[in-house]
Amino acid sequence: MNRSLRRSLLVVLAAFAAVAGWAGFTPIHLETREQAFDIPQGTYARRRAGDLVEILPDRIRLTLGLNDVLLIRNHDDVPQTFGPTIMMPGQSFRLPFERAASYQFVCTAHASGQLTIDVEPEPVTPWARIHWRVRAWWESHKK
Amino acid sequence: MTRALLCSLLLAAGFASAAATAQETQLKAGVLTPVMPAPELKLSGSDGQPLSLARFRGKVVLLAFGFSNCGEVCPITLATLAGARRKLGAEAGGVQVVYVTVDPQRDDAAQMRKYLASFDPTFVGGVGTIAQIETAEKSYGISVSRKVYPDGKYTLGHSSSIYIIDRDGGLRAVMPYGHPVDDFVHDLKILLRG
């Protein structure tokens, strides 16, 4: 292996180590702990008319300590049932989570009527932080 | 220099205290905003009196739906609510548990009274005709499913959240099933003092 190739390899390795070090040891900070979803006005009417309205994904993933509060805002003209409660028009429901678990909810704003919320533990180890950051980056680029 | 340091320390202590207070006043339950009046109940109470939420104005009401033959969810919910009242001590007088049946065919006032008394004699059950119970369920978004066995017996699946109604009759918050006693005590103390 010639010297310039070895040097390039070392630079790449050093850069990778620096990024991995940053991703593993820098605490994750999000602007808000709320993961917000809006039920737009006319959702009920559109669904009655036969439109396949998707407002919420099948599964919502939350992470303790980062984004562990679910916020649902009902802008529709009719009440909507989200899991544990019924929301009147104009009302919002803010549900904090403190335990990592998978939660199943009934949800009329969802086409299937079911919603799963996976609450994951706070990523505190370097590997967990790297995993969280890589997944967040991947999901944001998938959209 | 010393004065500046002291000011910084006081300021930091102030921020820390404000953050701690915000944490303490935040409910563990899911919060509804803006607060709207809790849908009224027009049922019969297991205590022999008409059951309406207006009867308990001035108290914090924990409202839940279930049935006396429930083998899984209701015993845990009721034991949790009874535990919360015990832990509140003298403050428990400001809390009323109302448990509305989702099984009007089998639960009458006497049955609910006997069932609820095994958890806490102050609990009041809500019973009524099928139509009255359905109205109450609809107004709170309660879903009920029925599973019939080959021998004709049946069991019910039902929404299991606990609705928290403040002293003024506002539907303030909803605690999903499965929260421990301490979460209820935490929220009830906030609402009783607020």
Whether residues B34 and A90 touch (CB distance < 8 A) is answered with yes
pTM: 0.84
Min Cα distance A74 → chain B (Å) is 10
Q: Which chain B residues touch A96 with a CB distance below 8 Å?
A: 26, 28, 30
Residues 12-41 of chain B with CB under 8 A from chain A are: 26, 28, 30-34, 36
- Angstrom distance (rounded) from CA A95 to CA A87: 13
DSSP B134-147: HHHHHHTT--EEEE
Residue type, A136: A
pLDDT of residue A43: 84
Does ipTM come in above 0.85? no
Q: The tokens 């809390």 sit on which residue?
A: B95
pLDDT in tens, A103-143: 888 776 666 777 889 999 999 999 999 999 999 899 888 76
| Cβ atoms of B165 and B172 closer than 8 Å | yes
Q: Which has the closest alpha carbon to A117: A34, A61, A71, A45?
A: A61
Chain B touched by A81 (CB under 8 Å): yes
Q: What are the tens digits of pLDDT across the range B116-154?
A: 999 999 999 999 999 999 999 999 989 899 999 999 999
Neighbouring residues of B55: CB distance < 8 A, sequence distance ≥ 6: B49
